[in-house]
C-alpha cells in the first residue's frame, strides 16, 4: 500500500509499504477514505525527529470502511463506516472508564513515562503506524472505532478523530458558559474549531493570530479578531481594552511549542535537530525547549481568578513558568491530550444537516495522498490559505 512516511526533518514521502495484517483477535483493518494533517504533525515535521525512525507512518486523523475483522470482533463487520480516534485506548480500564482515554492503562507507553499510545506519533507514544495511508490496522475493534452512518460525506464525521474532541475539551476545560468572554490564541484548525464551539455555547470569543486568512476565516463566523502583527507587545493591553479592563474569563492556548518569538527557545529547537538521537531525546526530556510566548501571553491577559486551557502541544520538561504571577492571580490551568470517546456523545448530535459547527466546509484543501509532501510544506509555511488538509488515499 501507499503511506506517508517520515525520513527526516522536513522530509516526508509517500512510499510503498507492506499492507497491515490482523495480529490480535479484536483487530480490524480499515480501508482509509480520508485522513487529516494535524497541526501537531508539524511538530514531527520540524521538532520531534529524535523520537522518530525513518519510515514511520504518520497520521492520526483517519476514517474509512472496515475491510476485515478479527475473530473476536462482534461490534463491526466489513463494510461498516468508522472514524478512528487518535488515542489508542481500550475503553475498558480504570482510566478509560473515567473518560480519560488519553491515559489508557492498557496502552500507556511506560518506557517513556507517557500516556496512551497514539496513532502515527513517535516512540514517545508507542510508535504505532498511522493513518495517512491506504489501510490501517486498528486494535480494540469492539470498543475503539466510532461507527458512523452512511450517506453524508467524510467531512461530516472525520473530525471526530481529533479536531472536534480536542477543541471541545479545550472549551470544556476553559469552563466556558453562556456569557463568558474567551480569548483563543492561535486560529489553526483547533483554535478555529474552539472558537466555533465556544460561540455555539453562547460565549463572546476573541481570536488572536497573525495569518490574515485565518483571521478572516474566524471573523466570518462571528469571532472578534486581533491581528498579532499590529498588537505585538501590546497584546494584553489591547485585550483588556475590549474586556472592560479586566481581561477574558478564560484563555485557550491553541499554539503550543512552535509559537512565534522566543529566539532562545527557537535556537534550542534547532540545536536539538543537530544532535544524535540519543542525546537529542535526553535534551528534549530534560531541557526547556518550548517557545512559551503564547502561554506567557495567556497568563498575562486572563483575568484574575480566570482559567487557562492549554491545547497546543508542548514538549519540554524544564520550561520556566512565572509561578508567582500564576499563584497571585489565582489561576486555574487545565491541559492534556483530548479524551476522544469522552466527548463523542456530546458532539455527534451536532453533526446533523444543520451543521452548526460548519464541519462540511471546514477543510480548505482536499488532496490525493500522493500530494502529502507538498501539503506538509505548505501547511508548515501557512501558505495558500491552508488551514485544514484532508488527504484522500
Confidence band of 389 (pLDDT split at 50, 70, 90): very high
pLDDT band at 236 (very low <50, low <70, confident <90, very high): very high
Question: Using alpha carbons only, what angle is made at residue 362 by residues 204 and 343, rounded to the nearest 5 degrees?
Answer: 65
The answer to whether residues 93 and 200 belong to one domain is no
Instruction: Indicate if 198 and 330 belong to the same structural domain.
Output: yes
**CA distances from residue 5 to 53, 131, 153 in whole angstroms, order as listed:** 10, 11, 27
Domain of 319 in residue numbering reads as 164-335
User: Are 220 and 285 part of one and the same domain?
Assistant: yes
pLDDT given for residue 50 in this prediction: 85
CA distance 283 to 385: 35
Q: Do residues 367 and 326 both lie within one domain?
A: no
Query: What's the average model confidence in pLDDT over 221-233?
Result: 93
pLDDT at 277 over 90: no
Give the dihedral sign, CA 285/287/290/296.
positive
Residues 205 and 58 in one domain: no
Which of 294, 313, 335 lies at the terminal end of a domain, its last residue? 335
pLDDT band for 52, please (50, 70, 90 cuts): very high
Whether residues 366 and 308 fall in one domain: no
Model confidence pLDDT, tens digit, residues 159-202: 999 999 999 999 999 999 999 999 999 999 999 999 999 999 99
- Asked if residue 228 lies in contact with residue 208, where contact means CB atoms within 8 angstroms, the answer is yes
Domain total for the chain? 2
CB atoms within 10 A of CB 96: 26
- Same-domain pairing of 169 and 146: no
Task: Say if residue 133 is in the same domain as residue 228.
Answer: no
- State whether 193 and 88 are in the same domain: no
Residues 93, 106, single domain; the answer is yes
- Judge if 269 and 258 occupy the same domain: yes
- 379: domain CATH number is 3.90.180.10
Residue of 56, 78, 74 whose CA lies nearest to 131 = 56
Q: Within 13 A of 146's CA, how many CA atoms are on the CB side?
A: 26
Q: Are 149 and 267 members of one domain?
A: no
Largest interatomic CA distance in the chain: 62
Last residue of a domain, one of 292, 307, 335: 335
CATH number at residue 279: 3.40.50.720
pLDDT digits (tens, 9 = 90+) for 303-359: 999 999 999 887 666 678 888 899 999 999 999 999 999 999 999 999 999 999 999
Amino acid at each position: 500500500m501507499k503511506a506517508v512516511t517520515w525520513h527526516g526533518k522536513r522530509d516526508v514521502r509517500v512510499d510503498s509499504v507492506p499492507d497491515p495484517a490482523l495480529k490480535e483477535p479484536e483487530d480490524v483493518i480499515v480501508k482509509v477514505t480520508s485522513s487529516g494533517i494535524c497541526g501537531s504533525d508539524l511538530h514531527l515535521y520540524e521538532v520531534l525527529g529524535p523520537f522518530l525512525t525513518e519510515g514511520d507512518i504518520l497520521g492520526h486523523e483517519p476514517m474509512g470502511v472496515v475491510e476485515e475483522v478479527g475473530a473476536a470482533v462482534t461490534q463491526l463487520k466489513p463494510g461498516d463506516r468508522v472514524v478512528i480516534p487518535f488515542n489508542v485506548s481500550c475503553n475498558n480500564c480504570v482510566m478509560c472508564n473515567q473518560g480519560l482515554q488519553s491515559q489508557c492503562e492498557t496502552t500507556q507507553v511506560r518506557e517513556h513515562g507517557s500516556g496512551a499510545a497514539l496513532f502515527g506519533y513517535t516512540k514517545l507514544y508507542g510508535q504505532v503506524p498511522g493513518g495517512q495511508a491506504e489501510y490501517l490496522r486498528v486494535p480494540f475493534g469492539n470498543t475503539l472505532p466510532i461507527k458512523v452512518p452512511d450517506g453524508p460525506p467524510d467531512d461530516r464525521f472525520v473530525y471526530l478523530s481529533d479536531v472536534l474532541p480536542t477543541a471541545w475539551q479545550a472549551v470544556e476545560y476553559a469552563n466556558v458558559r453562556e456569557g463568558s468572554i474567551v480569548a483563543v490564541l492561535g486560529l489553526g484548525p483547533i483554535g478555529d474549531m474552539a472558537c466555533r464551539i465556544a460561540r455555539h455555547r453562547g460565549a463572546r470569543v476573541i481570536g488572536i493570530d497573525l495569518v490574515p486568512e485565518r483571521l478572516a476565516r474566524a471573523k466570518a463566523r462571528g469571532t472578534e479578531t486581533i491581528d498579532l502583527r499590529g498588537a505585538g507587545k501590546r497584546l494584553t493591553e489591547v485585550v483588556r481594552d475590549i474586556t472592560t479592563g479586566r481581561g477574558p474569563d478564560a484563555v485557550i492556548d491553541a499554539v503550543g511549542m512552535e509559537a512565534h518569538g522566543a529566539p532562545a527557545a527557537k535556537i534550542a529547537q534547532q540545536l536539538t535537530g543537530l544532535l544524535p538521537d540519543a542525546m537529542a531525546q535526553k535534551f528534549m526530556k530534560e531541557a526547556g525547549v518550548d517557545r512559551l510566548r503564547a502561554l506567557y501571553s495567556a497568563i498575562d491577559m486572563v483575568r484574575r481568578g480566570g482559567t487557562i486551557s492549554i491545547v497546543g502541544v508542548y514538549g519540554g520538561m524544564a520550561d520556566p513558568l512565572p509561578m508567582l504571577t500564576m499563584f497571585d492571580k489565582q489561576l486555574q490551568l487545565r491541559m492534556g491530550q483530548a479524551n476522544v470517546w469522552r466527548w463523542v456523545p456530546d458532539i455527534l448530535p451536532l453533526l446533523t444537516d444543520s451543521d452548526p459547527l460548519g464541519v462540511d466546509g471546514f477543510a480548505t484543501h482536499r488532496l490525493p495522498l500522493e500530494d502529502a509532501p507538498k501539503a506538509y510544506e505548505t501547511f508548515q509555511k501557512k501558505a495558500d490559505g491552508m488551514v485544514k488538509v484532508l488527504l484522500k488515499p
